[in-house]
Structure 1
């Protein structure tokens, strides 16, 4: 059996940084989608008010 040489892969960005960047971008896209979706109905900044979410939760529980 021939000895296989191990090659080290040098990545431009480490895996943990890529994962954190993906999560960060996903959160930004999530809130942007909420603002766009809610902006059709009302003021887009209303999505950040706790009263809005309480109202939505109350509507779904009834």
Structure 2
């Protein structure tokens, strides 16, 4: 009988950063500079897809 997992669960958006913080605390690591590249790419795609959203982000200073 094979009990090996057959699929993997993707990490929730904030979960990866929480994992890094937990590891940092557990092993007394210095503060890590974490950049979520996939999030940045998704935001760039959203701004391209919806120009009004990009304009709103510019006026509110969100981007």
For this structure pair, what is the TM-score category when the shorter chain's length is used for normalisation?
Answer: under 0.3
Please give the TM-score of this superposition, normalised by the length of structure 2.
0.27
Please give the TM-score of this superposition, normalised by the length of structure 1.
0.27
Larger helix fraction of residues: 1
